[in-house]
Chain A
Amino acid sequence: MRRALGLTRSSLALVVGMLAPAGASAQSLLSAGGLGIPVDPLDARARAIGGVAVGLPGGQLLPTDPVAAADLTVPSVTITLANAWVDVDQAGVAGTASGARFPALGVAYPVKTWGTATLTYGSVLDQRWQSNREQRLVLSDGSARVTDRFTSDGGIAALRLGFAARIAPSLAVGGSIGRYTGDLTRNLTRTWDSVDVSLDVAPTQTGGFWNYSGVTATVGATVDVAQVFRAAANVTWSGDVEAEPSEDTSGSGATFDFPLELRIGASGALTPGLLASVGIVRADWSKAGESLRDSSGRSALTVGGGVEWTRASIAGRRSPIQLGYRRSTLPFTLGSDEAVETALTAGMGIDFVRSEAATLAGMGIALERGSRDAGSLTERFWRASLTLRVAGF
């Protein structure tokens, strides 16, 4: 066991090193609205149970819930990957989008008997999108077709250092402090159709680069009642998030007042082996949206829930199955249109190696089928999430 773990440790360190800079993306045109579209840094299990962010039974490593790590009694590493395939219909014009991202990464390490320290890196807002526009310009010797392409690439993520402790058999508390990271590149390029223009017309490029920075902190608690019911809540405070332009950027910087975010969730056993979970996430982005140009912020609310059948197994390995539903009002308008996302969720997990009290190697898969609507924009998406978890080294 020790030899195998030694090999795994170096491999995982390499993988984590490669993934750490990667941002997260929801692959949505709604990223064009305000500061982007939120991407919850959840693992596959939480996504499969309707996106419940806190209050799920068992020990987990979630950037949004530092208390969830209280029951991780062995060192753990968790990586979540998400692929999305999106069909976009905007005022009758169809398109597609897709991509693979890493919305949540984390490491947990028990500190003596005091509790569990965590280091997580999770996505917050995705700002990747682009827009094309073609038009014909009249010149003295005819006309020429030009294409304006605007690209926005980047997003905001958060690196958090947390600690969770079970201070009583039925009560766990925890908190995290963190820093918002990320950047945004926005470029506009006007290119000329070389067939239309028999001249060497160079494209026009203009743009800017901004770095995001800010601090955040989360505190929360979990209450267990007779191992059949768990309720949890946390609140995340964020300071001003600064968008600092690079030296060669002509555009100005800005400060965004990120809101207080409240997460509440609960889970209970309906029958032996069958759990039900519900959760809400609420944040008022109105103030953060005050300095936006073509968008505004509003109160965002996510409500989700689902069930988990924990007694399923595959080849003798524990393989819980989850089903759920989620509905979210998104924090920023697209133009003046408010956006809503709904999704049906499902998933399953496999515990490859399990000790008496913990999963030493496991995998979770979630599949979501959902839609987003904002005015004339409709998106239907599939999203597959994969969480890999290795523990015990």
Chain B
Amino acid sequence: LRKAILPLISALLWTFAACEEQTPTSTAEGLLPVAPVTFEVLLPWSQFATGASVYGDFGVPSDRGVGVLANKFRALLDARTLGHWDSYGLDELVNDTTGTIRQDTLLRPKNARIVMRFDTLATSRDSLITVSAHRTLVDFDRKTASWTHAVDSAGNRRPWPVAGGGPAVRVGQGVWDRATSGDSLILPVDTAAIRAWSDTLASGRGFRLDVETSNVRVEVTTAELRFDLTPSVRPDTTLERAIPLTDITFIYTPKPTAPTSGLRVGGIPAWRSVIHTQIPTVLNGPAALCAALGCPFELKPERINHASLLLTTRPTDPPAFQPLDTVRIDVRSVLSPQRLPKAPLGTQFAGLNGRALDPLSFLTPTSVTIPITSFVLAQLTPDTVNVDLPPVRSLALLAFLEPSSISFVNFAGPGQPGEPRLRLIVTASPNVELP
């Protein structure tokens, strides 16, 4: 019998290995025993939402770490950039003409300039923009400085002597033309400013950048102070110095007021809009759905294939804050609406990088779709674990990486043309029965 085992097992393995499992499959129409029906339903605001609110003052300009310059942009917006240079001295150890190393305290600065770079995508025009540099004479707080106040913190509120970051001493001027200098501007400054900014005991060690050209808005991504030093003990030698920023911020006027209608997202400080929803558990329309599936149609979670929030863009008001570059918005659940505007936020619905929107889409009303399927399903599915927690019913619309830009965007709010709608794709199927 032992001799028989090997051929038996071989035959067994052959039979197992020889055949791949392939279920017989039909593509004939008639063999499908049930036919699911799919409908797209657009719910108006009144059928899925209970209200909307707009909240502001999230973040400060210094959080962004860039500068903004504007001069009566679209006849309204003025913006100036403020900052401080890193500390530096005007003495160095230098080899004199005899080769002896000496501390030279009489170094002579020359060829001073500020090298700055612009965000060319966030700039309203590309050529012949005149930018001036100033040395501030009043100390300011980079975190709280505004157009009217140099310091605006609790218990310490000091207005600028001259609104808009004044007074200040003009130290230089340059003209930026993207065609010739790319994204950079080399702005010559007085060497006297180099001496003044080196004085660490002086209160006004800050700088201010203004744009002289009217109806312009540009964004300064970085700036650096550069100058050369000529040693008194070795006049044939030039020492190059580059002083980086320690901080940069911007101040602007006027400050936008809260909208009386509609939804607003973005800006610095940032705006958020919160939509409070109440997803219906039954549908009584549209007529085609009722005719096919019967109404009231129970909106069970397993019947929902997709849910998305449909927003309609509106032109930014005032237009000076219209976005110049791609806008990224985020949509997140609001976990404790009773704690608004400081309610913690939950799940992201606009993707890991937010939803990118073309700035041109805010010139004319454009539809924006934000998928919120899991948000809707969570409302319709009882939470069997955290039974005491109310379902999350509020959604916050905010800028991705808030605050991200001085620009903000508007969407139509309840009662306005293009008010938010809820798009549902639902599928219902008869029960699968025995043959």
Seen from chain A, the residues whose Cβ lies within 8 Å of a Cβ on chain B are: 1, 4-5, 8, 27-29, 31-36, 81, 83-86, 88, 90-91, 93, 95-100, 127-133, 137, 139-141, 146, 148, 150-153, 184, 186-188, 190, 192, 199-208, 210, 243, 250-254, 292-295, 335, 352-353, 360-361, 363, 365, 384, 386, 388, 390, 392
B434: interface (CB < 8 Å): yes
Q: Which are the 8 A-B pairs with shortest beta-carbon distances?
A: A352-B4, A97-B24, A361-B4, A83-B19, A204-B427, A100-B19, A251-B433, A250-B431
From B5, B8, B30, B33, residue with most partner A Cβ within 10 Å? B8
Which A residues touch B29, using CB under 8 A? Answer: 133
> How far is A146 from B23 in the complex, measured between Cα atoms in Å?
21
Query: Are A139 and B36 CB-contacts (below 8 A) given A96-B22, A129-B26, A251-B431?
Result: no
Question: In the assembly, what is the distance between CA of A112 and CA of B435, in Å?
Answer: 47
Cβ–Cβ contact B34 & A188, under 8 A: yes
From B1, B423, B433, A5 is in contact (CB under 8 Å) with B1
Interface CB pairs A-B, < 8 A, 12: A4-B2, A27-B23, A96-B22, A97-B22, A130-B25, A139-B40, A188-B432, A190-B429, A204-B302, A206-B36, A294-B435, A386-B11
| Cβ A97 vs Cβ B25 within 8 A | yes
Q: Which residues from chain B sit less than 8 Å from chain A, CB to CB?
A: 1-5, 7-8, 11-12, 15-16, 18-36, 38, 40, 42, 302-306, 308, 369, 371, 373, 423, 425, 427, 429, 431-435
Quick one: which of B5, B7, B25, B435 contacts A132, CB cutoff 8 A? B25
Taking the nearest CB of chain A, how far is it from the CB of B40, in angstroms? 5
Nearest B residue to A360 via CB reads B1
Q: How far is the CA of A95 from the CA of B22 in the complex (A)?
A: 10
Residues from chain B with a CB closer than 8 A to the CB of A146 are 38
- Give the residues in chain A near B304, CB-CB below 8 Å: 202
If A100-B16, A129-B23, A129-B26 touch, whether A201 touches B425 (CB-CB below 8 Å) is yes
Central interface residue in B29, B31, B34, by most chain A CB within 10 Å: B31
Q: Please, which residues of chain A bring their CB within 8 A of the CB of B15?
A: 81, 83, 100, 384, 386
With contacts A29-B24, A130-B24 known, is A388 near B32, CB below 8 A? no
In the complex, are the beta carbons of A133 and B27 less than 8 A apart? Answer: yes
CB pair A29 B21 closer than 8 Å: no
Establish whether residues B373 and A200, one from each chain, have CB atoms under 8 Å apart when the complex forms: yes
Find chain B residues with CB under 8 A from A139 CB: 40, 425
| CB contact between B34 and one of A129, A141, A153, A206 (< 8 Å): that residue | A206
* B434–A184 touching, CB < 8 Å: yes
Are B432's CB and A186's CB within 8 A? yes
Q: How far is the CB of B41 from chain A (nearest CB, A)?
A: 10
**Which residues on A sit within 8 Å (CB–CB) of B3?**
352-353
- Pairwise interchain contact B433-A295, C-beta atoms closer than 8 A: no
* Docked pose: A73 CA to B2 CA in angstroms: 21
Q: Are A207 and B19 in contact (CB under 8 A)?
A: no
CA–CA, A36 to B435, complex, Å? 9
Whether the pair B434, A252 counts as a contact (CB closer than 8 A) is yes
Question: Known interface pairs A34-B435, A188-B34, A204-B305. Does A131 touch B28 (Cβ–Cβ under 8 Å)?
Answer: yes
Give 19 A-B pairs besides A139-B40, A386-B11 with Cβ atoms closer than 8 angstroms: A29-B24, A83-B18, A93-B28, A96-B22, A98-B19, A99-B20, A100-B19, A131-B31, A132-B26, A140-B42, A188-B33, A190-B36, A201-B306, A202-B373, A204-B429, A207-B432, A251-B433, A386-B15, A390-B8
Question: How far is it, in angstroms, between the C-alpha of A360 and the C-alpha of B306 when the chains are bound?
Answer: 64
Question: A352 contacts which of B8, B306, B373 (Cβ < 8 Å)?
Answer: B8
A130 pairs with B26, CB closer than 8 A: yes
Residues of B within 8 A of A83 (CB): 15, 18-19
A101 to chain B: closest residue by CB: B19
Which A residues touch B8, using CB under 8 A? 352, 361, 363, 388, 390
A206 close to B432 (CB less than 8 A): yes
Q: Which of A153, A199, A205, A210 has the most CB of B within 10 A?
A: A199
Are A32 and B2 in touch, CB under 8 angstroms?
A: no
Chain A residues, CB < 8 A from B12: 81, 386, 388
Within 8 Å by CB of A254, from B4, B28, B434, lies: B434
- B427 neighbours in A (Cβ, 8 Å): 190, 204
Question: A residues within 8 A CB of B435?
Answer: 32-36, 127, 152, 292-295
CB of B24 within 8 A of CB of A95, answer yes
B11 / chain A contacts, CB cutoff of 8 Å: 363, 365, 386, 388
Inter-chain contacts of A200 with B (CB < 8 A):
306, 371, 373
Residues of A within 8 A of B2 (CB): 4
Question: How far is B19's CA from A34's CA once the two chains are assembled, in angstroms?
Answer: 27
A393 to B8: give the CA distance in the assembly, Å.
16
- Is A192 touching B23 in the complex (CB atoms < 8 A)? no
Bound: A28/B4 CA distance, A? 35
CB–CB B306/A199 < 8 A: yes
| Interchain nearest-CB distance for B256 vs A (Å) | 33
Closest Cβ of chain B: how far from A390's Cβ, in Å? 8
- Identify the closest chain A residue to B28 (Cβ): A90
CA distance A33 to B31 in the complex (A): 9
- Docked complex Cα distance between A90 and B96 (Å): 100
Bound-state CA distance A96–B26 (Å) is 10
Instruction: Identify the closest chain B residue to A379 (Cβ).
Output: B24
Taken together as a complex, chains A and B put the C-alpha atoms of A213 and B226 apart, in Å, by 90
Residue in A32, A295, A386, A392 whose beta carbon sits within 8 Å of that of B26 in the complex = A32
How far is A202 from B20 in the complex, measured between Cα atoms in Å? 30
Complex CA gap A365/B305 in Å reads 51
A371-B38 Cα distance, complex, nearest whole Å: 39
- Taking the closest CB of chain A, its distance from the CB of B308, in whole angstroms, is 7
Q: How far is the CB of B428 from chain A (nearest CB, A)?
A: 8
Docked complex Cα distance between A200 and B3 (Å): 61
Q: How far is the CB of A203 from the nearest CB of chain B, in Å? A: 7
| Contact residues in B for A186 (Cβ distance below 8 Å) | 33, 432, 434
Measured in the bound complex, the distance between the Cα atoms of B21 and A84 in whole Å is 10
Known contacts A34-B435, A146-B38, A188-B432; A91/B28 CB under 8 A: yes
In the complex, the chain B residue whose C-beta lies closest to that of A205 is B302
Contact B30 A335 (CB under 8 A): yes
The residue in chain B whose Cβ has the minimal distance to the Cβ of A192 is: B305
A198 (CB) vs chain B CBs: closest residue: B369
Q: Residue on A with the closest CB to B34?
A: A188
- Tell me whether A132 and B27 are in contact (CB under 8 A): yes
Assembly CA distance A123 to B30 (angstroms) = 27
Contact status A203-B305, CB under 8 Å: yes
Chain B residue with Cβ nearest A191: B305
Instruction: Give the complex CA separation of A88 and B40 in angstroms.
Output: 37
B24 and A27 form a contact (CB under 8 A): yes
CB contacts (< 8 Å) of A148 on chain B: these are: 32, 35-36
Q: Would you call A363 and B7 a contact (CB within 8 A)?
A: yes
Chain A, Cβ-Cβ closest to B426: A204
Most chain B CB inside 10 Å of its own CB: which residue of A27, A204, A210: A204
CB pair A251 B434 closer than 8 Å: yes
Which of A28, A199, A295, A365 touches B308 (beta carbons < 8 Å)? A199
Whether B32 pairs with A133 at a CB distance below 8 angstroms is: yes
A129 near B305: Cβ-Cβ < 8 Å: no
Expressed in whole angstroms, the minimum distance between the Cβ of A375 and any Cβ of chain B is: 10
